């Protein structure tokens, strides 16, 4: 029987998020994390645990059917003219969000893309950076580094960097300031554009549908409250991102009803306080574990 071969990072940010997502999709794995292969016990899925940089190639070459990789790595492979071009995004996975940014010393002369003309830029994403600058008519020297890019200006290896940023703390700690966003990235599920096996696709479809449920439910909450009948419309209008709520009678009361709603946006304390101010009582906010909409 066909098994879906899935390439996942062996350790790192994508490994954790990827395993977490697959577990929430119901996959169970037999062994610890220290093996190249992991076989799901309860679904026809095999995982191949590799370095994230190798994932586009593994999928393009057919060694794996699908892979979980950062969009930044995929786009770099595409710009570099390597096999990334043969791949497509099957699903955006909503974790490992980061941005690829141009940055330079805070107190230095480089404040914009135009200031990069003739300068040296250190990056682990040479093809992406080069394409970005060329498109804006800037010619700069690209210094390729495989890690610790943020130290390049201090070591006089380059005047600016193009690197992944999430909170900005690393830039800050190295006296750098970002001035331009080159790419917004998140983990993505990739596959070959052509030449896939229908059986593998069918298994992947099940996982993708479950993943959508997991991703959608991550921010989604279930709200229950009691609402005065005459304030019902005002209360409904305060519920963030909810469609038609369920209204139920409360035994022995005709001035108050129970309201249940699925809210697809974050529910803040401010929202709860506003609901309370409109007369809502017994307000409960519950996490939703799984959802098939």
CB of residue 100 to ligand ATP, shortest distance in Å: 9
d(CA 167, CA 180): 15
Closest by CA to 189, choosing from 207, 162, 176, 174, is 207
Is residue 51 near ligand ATP by the rule CB under 6 A? yes
Residue 77 binds to Zn ion (criterion: CB under 5 A): no
What is the DSSP secondary structure assignment for residue 169, as one 8-state letter? H
| 185 in contact with ligand ATP (CB under 6 A) | yes
- What CA–CA distance (Å, rounded) separates 20 from 9? 12
Of the pair 98, 122, the CB lying nearest ligand ATP is at: 98
d(CA 213, CA 288): 10
Q: Under rule CB under 6 A, how many of the chain's residues touch ligand ATP?
A: 16
In the complex, minimum distance from the CB of residue 51 to Zn ion, in angstroms, rounded to a whole number: 5
Segment near ligand ATP (CB under 6 A); pick from 48-56, 220-228, 244-252, 279-287 = 48-56
- Site for ligand ATP contains 92 (CB under 6 A): no
52 binds ligand ATP (CB under 6 A): yes
We find the least distance from the C-beta atom of residue 136 to ligand ATP, in angstroms, to be: 23
Instruction: Considering the complex, state which of residue 96 and residue 140 has its C-beta at the smaller distance from Zn ion.
Output: 96
Check binding of 78 to ligand ATP (CB under 6 A): no
Binds ligand ATP by CB under 6 A, chosen from 4, 6, 8, 14: 14
Closest to 113 measured CA to CA, from 132, 91, 128 = 132
Distance of CA 173 to the CA centre of its chain: 25
* Distance of alpha carbon 33 from alpha carbon 23, whole angstroms: 13
CB 264 within 8 A of CB 223: no
Query: Is 164 a residue that touches ligand ATP (CB under 6 A)?
Result: yes
* Site membership for Zn ion, residue 52 (CB under 5 A): yes
Question: Residue 153 Cβ, how far from ligand ATP at the closest point, in Å?
Answer: 19
Among 38, 57, 72, 174, binds ligand ATP (CB under 6 A): 72
Which of 53, 180, 199, 201 touches Zn ion by CB under 5 A? 53
Torsion region of 211: left, alpha or beta (phi above 0 gives left; psi -120 to 50 gives alpha): alpha
Going edge to edge, which strands form the sheet with 87-92? Answer: 37-39, 45-50, 4-9, 66-70, 187-192, 87-92
**Residues binding ligand ATP (CB under 6 A):** 9, 12-14, 51-53, 70, 72-73, 96-98, 164, 166, 185
């Amino acid at each position: 029987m066909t098994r879906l071969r899935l390439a996942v990072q062996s350790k790192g940010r994508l490994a954790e998020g990827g395993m977490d997502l697959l577990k929430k999709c119901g996959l169970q794995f037999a062994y610890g994390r220290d093996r190249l292969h992991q076989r799901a016990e309860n679904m026809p899925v095999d995982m191949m645990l590799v370095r994230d940089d190798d994932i586009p190639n593994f999928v393009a070459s057919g060694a794996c059917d699908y892979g979980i990789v950062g969009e930044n790595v995929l786009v770099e492979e595409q710009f570099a003219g390597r096999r990334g071009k043969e791949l497509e995004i099957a699903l955006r996975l909503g974790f490992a969000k980061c941005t690829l940014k141009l940055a330079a010393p805070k107190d230095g002369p480089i404040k914009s893309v135009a200031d990069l003309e003739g300068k040296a830029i250190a990056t682990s994403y040479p093809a992406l950076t080069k394409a970005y600058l060329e498109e804006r008519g800037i010619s700069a020297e690209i210094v390729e580094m495989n890690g610790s890019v943020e130290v390049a200006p201090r070591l006089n290896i380059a005047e600016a960097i193009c690197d992944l940023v999430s909170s900005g703390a690393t830039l800050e700690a190295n006296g750098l300031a970002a001035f331009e966003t080159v790419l917004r990235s998140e983990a993505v599920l990739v596959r070959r554009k052509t030449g896939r096996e229908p059986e593998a696709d069918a298994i992947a479809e099940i996982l993708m549908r479950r993943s959508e449920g997991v991703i959608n439910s991550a921010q989604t909450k279930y709200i229950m409250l009691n609402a005065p009948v005459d304030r019902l419309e005002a209360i409904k209008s305060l519920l963030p991102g909810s469609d038609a709520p369920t209204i139920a009678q409360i035994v022995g009361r005709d001035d108050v009803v129970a309201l249940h709603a699925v809210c697809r946006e974050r529910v803040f304390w401010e929202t709860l306080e506003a609901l309370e101010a409109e007369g809502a009582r017994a307000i409960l906010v519950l996490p939703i574990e799984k959802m098939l909409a």
